[in-house]
């Protein structure tokens, strides 16, 4: 399936692909992020059985980047390469640190050869880097990936503002990026960042099973982003 990141993509996050049949997904989401690392059953079998109409973003988050996958990079990336071969998988999320290794670069090539895009992701669960580091990381991620994704942790309004400024700068340079600040202090960035050029937002299908701190539920994020897109000056 095709998934263009020329405009904002709202991804419904889940570890259970049966959630893709939830009416809220069809009404509000452009894609489903399948957290393979959080799945209770075999995620590759779930991909093979998926027959939904919503394109998938496959994520197999490494434990060292906040996920539940303890496989070594060879096995973990091989799983993502196989996922990319599924017709329903339109994009694959690979950690920036992995992509900067020879094995990760090979994985990115194979994902693209299979017809899927690469989301190069970076997560900071401790805080928000300095402005110069944020801009550098976003540009690096957007260079090795088709979308450069940076998620940070905001402790105050200054952190959130710094992320939005970096998002605006990256977009001005022509980079395709997705940004968000985790935590309550940065929660509003999930709705506001698209105004500054962020191309992907994430919201859980089941609010009680959020995959990152500070996520809005799917319907709320869809409404907030839509309202801001229609009335950017209000």
Query: Could you tell me the residue ranges of all domains in the chain?
Result: 9-224
Q: Is 61 marked as binding a ligand?
A: yes
Active site residue 158: no
pLDDT per residue as tens digits for the range 32-53: 999 999 999 999 999 999 999 9
Q: How many CB atoms lie within 10 A of CB 174?
A: 7
Buried/exposed 149-167: b ≥16 CB within 10 Å, e otherwise: bbbbbbbeeebbbbbbebb
| Gap between the Cα atoms of 146 and 108, Å rounded | 10
- Catalytic residue among 149, 158, 188, 199, which? 149
Homologous superfamily of the 9-224 domain (CATH): Aldolase class I (3.20.20.70)
Q: What pLDDT is stored for residue 229 in this prediction?
A: 78
Q: Is 44 marked as binding a ligand?
A: no
Active site residue 149: yes
Q: What pLDDT is stored for residue 234 in this prediction?
A: 47
| Chain length of the chain | 234
CA nearest to 69, candidates 102, 35, 41, 96: 35
């Amino acid at each position: 399936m095709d998934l263009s990141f020329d405009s904002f993509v709202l991804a419904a996050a889940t570890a259970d692909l049966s959630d893709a049949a939830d009416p809220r997904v069809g009404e509000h989401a452009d894609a489903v992020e399948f957290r393979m690392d959080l799945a209770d059953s075999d995620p590759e079998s779930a991909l093979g059985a998926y027959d939904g109409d919503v394109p998938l973003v496959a994520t197999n988050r490494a434990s060292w980047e906040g996920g539940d996958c303890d496989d070594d990079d060879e096995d973990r990336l091989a799983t993502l390469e196989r996922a990319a071969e599924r017709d329903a998988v339109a994009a694959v999320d690979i950690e920036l640190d992995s992509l900067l290794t020879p094995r990760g670069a090979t994985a990115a090539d194979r994902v693209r050869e299979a017809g899927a895009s690469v989301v190069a992701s970076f997560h900071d669960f401790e805080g928000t880097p300095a402005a110069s580091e944020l801009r550098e990381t976003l540009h690096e991620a957007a260079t090795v990936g088709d979308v450069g994704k940076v998620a940070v942790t905001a402790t105050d309004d200054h952190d959130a503002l710094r992320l939005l400024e970096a998002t605006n700068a990256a977009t001005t340079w022509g980079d395709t990026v997705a940004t968000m600040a985790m935590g309550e202090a940065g929660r509003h960035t999930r709705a506001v960042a698209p105004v500054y050029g962020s191309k992907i937002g994430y919201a859980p299908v089941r609010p009680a099973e959020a995959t990152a701190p500070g996520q809005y539920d799917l319907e709320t994020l869809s409404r907030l982003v839509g309202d801001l897109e229609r009335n950017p000056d209000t």
